[in-house]
Amino acid sequence: MRVAFYGGSFNPPHVAHVLAVTYALSAGGFERVLVVPIYSHAFDKQLCPFEHRVRMCGLAMGWLPGVEVSEVEASLETPSLTLRTLEHLAAAHPDYELRLMVGADVLGEADKWYAFDRVGELAPPYVLGRVGVQHPDAPPPVVPDVSSTRIRALLSRRGSPEADAELSRSVPRDVLAYIDEHGLYCGERSA
């Protein structure tokens, strides 16, 4: 089974994540996309609690046929490492033909990853071009320039007509409602 492994912070998930998953399923020849929120960031980045990010990924992408949101990293050693997760999945699912789905921005950051060469052996990268990302090996852009960092900055200005308009274009409606309902990212208002 051809499976795209799509790991990330998803802090929070946004429309570029949804479009990436949709593109992989429709044009990448994958039978399944496994969306894997990281449990504990390798660089100690502050993240919204895991259970909220899993739930938001489900709201954003889990309803799409062929997409599975996985909590696998909650049961693995921390900090979360892509290699560790891929090794676990390869052992648990020998029928999976894994590919690591990443945005073109990762091409310039591979040296920051733990054992990226080994990751590539287990799951050769399936790279999606991203608007605004220049790299000689990047394919043409298929994913818009939307980032979780930008979304968090906009959430800190919630109530401003400009911020609310951009949020409504950049974050799935159900995810935005979940963020509001649970008061997520409120502590970042001054950041």
For residue 78, which of 113, 44, 43, 39 has the smallest C-alpha distance? 39
Displacement of CA 88 from its chain's centroid (Å): 19
Q: Where are the domains of the chain?
A: 2-184
Beta-bridge mates of residue 124: none
pLDDT, position 80? 83
What value does the mean pLDDT take over residues 144-167? 94
- Give the number of other Cβ atoms within 10 Å of residue 85's Cβ: 23
Sequence-distant (6+) residues with CB within 8 A of 33 are 3, 4, 6, 21, 24, 25, 61, 64, 66, 67, 68, 101
What value does the mean pLDDT take over residues 165-179? 97
Task: Tell me the average pLDDT of the chain.
Answer: 91
pLDDT, position 38? 94
Q: Give me the CATH topology for the region 2-184.
A: Rossmann fold (3.40.50)
Alpha helices, H only, the chain: 15-27, 50-57, 82-92, 116-122, 148-155, 161-170, 173-182
pLDDT digits (tens, 9 = 90+) for 80-99: 889 999 999 999 999 999 99
In three-state secondary structure terms, 136 is: coil
Please answer whether residues 66 and 31 qualify as being in contact, where contact means their C-beta atoms are separated by less than 8 angstroms.
yes
Which has more pLDDT, 20 or 186?
20
Please answer whether residues 73 and 80 qualify as being in contact, where contact means their C-beta atoms are separated by less than 8 angstroms.
yes
What value does the mean pLDDT take over residues 134-143? 89
Residue 184 tokens read as 């997520």
Please answer whether residues 148 and 14 qualify as being in contact, where contact means their C-beta atoms are separated by less than 8 angstroms.
yes
pLDDT, position 189? 39
